[in-house]
Amino acid sequence: EVQLVESGGGLVKPGGSLRLSCAASGFTFSSYSMNWVRQAPGKGLEWVSSISSSSSYIYYADSVKGRFTISRDNAKNSLYLQMNSLRAEDTAVYYCARDYGGNSPLGYWGQGTLVTVSS
C-alpha cells in the first residue's frame, strides 16, 4: 500500500525558514517523480514543485521560485521541501504526492502538514 506521511509543519515568523519532509513507503521510491501541492485555508489547490525520480528535472511554481527548494533522498525514501523567506501567503496545508504514471503526476497523496506564517 502506498503511504506518504508529511511532517515538519508548524508556526514560523515571516522571513523565517522551515523544512518539510515526506516519508514514503509501500513502493519503490526511487522509480517515481514526486510533487508538493499546497492549499491555503479555504482556498483551492496550488501545484508547488516537482522532482523527477533521479532529481534530474526540477520545477517550481513562480510563486515560490527562488525561495523554496525541493530535494529527495532515495536511500531514505524521503522527499523534502526547504522553504526560506517565508511570507504570510505561504500559509497552507502542504501535501506531497506521487506520480501514478501515464501523465498522472498526483496519483497518490499524503494527508498534509500545516504551515502557518505569522508574527
Q: In whole angstroms, how close is the CB of 13 to another protein at the nearest point?
A: 27
Distance CA 21, CA 16 (A): 17
Is 114 a residue that touches another protein (CB under 8 A)?
Answer: no
Cell of 61: 511554481
Give the number of C-alpha atoms closer than 13 A to the C-alpha of residue 18, restricted to the C-beta side.
23
Q: In whole angstroms, how close is the CB of 39 to another protein at the nearest point?
A: 8
Distance CA 28, CA 16 (A): 34
Element (H, E) at 59: strand 58-60
Place of cell 506521487: 98
Site string for another protein, 92-111 (x = CB under 8 A): ---x----x-xxxxxxxxxx
Residue with Cβ nearer another protein (15 or 45): 45
Site string for another protein, 11-50 (x = CB under 8 A): ------------------------x-x------xxxx--x
Q: In whole angstroms, how close is the CB of 14 to another protein at the nearest point?
A: 24
Residue with Cβ nearer another protein (27 or 100): 100
Task: Say whether 67 sits in a helix, a strand or coil.
Answer: coil
Cell of 80: 523534502
Residues that bind another protein (CB under 8 A): 35, 37, 44-47, 50, 59-62, 95, 100, 102-112
